[in-house]
Amino acid sequence: MESLFNNSLATLIAYFGIISIYLLVIPLLLFYWMNNRWNIMGKFERLGIYGLVFLFFPGLILFSPFLNLRLKGSGKD
């Protein structure tokens, strides 16, 4: 019975780890990468980023209301 509990607990920890990486870690790294390199990316790097955006879309949607990727203006109004 203990091995069943340990196996279930290990499974839950593995699921939590995979989901947190998929929904939290990689999308935040992707937002950081896009924010720093958006204007200087090459075409193959941009293609790769678009593929990653498609792959990690659910996590990016979770953070989209809180992150601002707009360009900074010159400060003149």
Question: Which pLDDT tens digit goes with each residue over 8-37?
Answer: 888 899 999 999 999 999 999 999 999 888
| Whole-model pTM over 0.85 | no
Placement of tokens 């998929």 in the chain: 22
Q: Count H helices and E strands in the chain, helices first.
A: 4, 0
**The predicted structure's pLDDT at residue 8:** 84
C-alpha neighbours within 13 Å on the C-beta side of residue 40:
4
pLDDT category of residue 4 using cuts at 50, 70 and 90: low
Structure tokens at 29: 């790294």
Question: Which pLDDT tens digit goes with each residue over 31-67?
Answer: 999 988 888 999 999 999 999 999 999 999 998 888 7
**The predicted structure's pLDDT at residue 9:** 84
In the chain, where are the structural domains located? 2-63
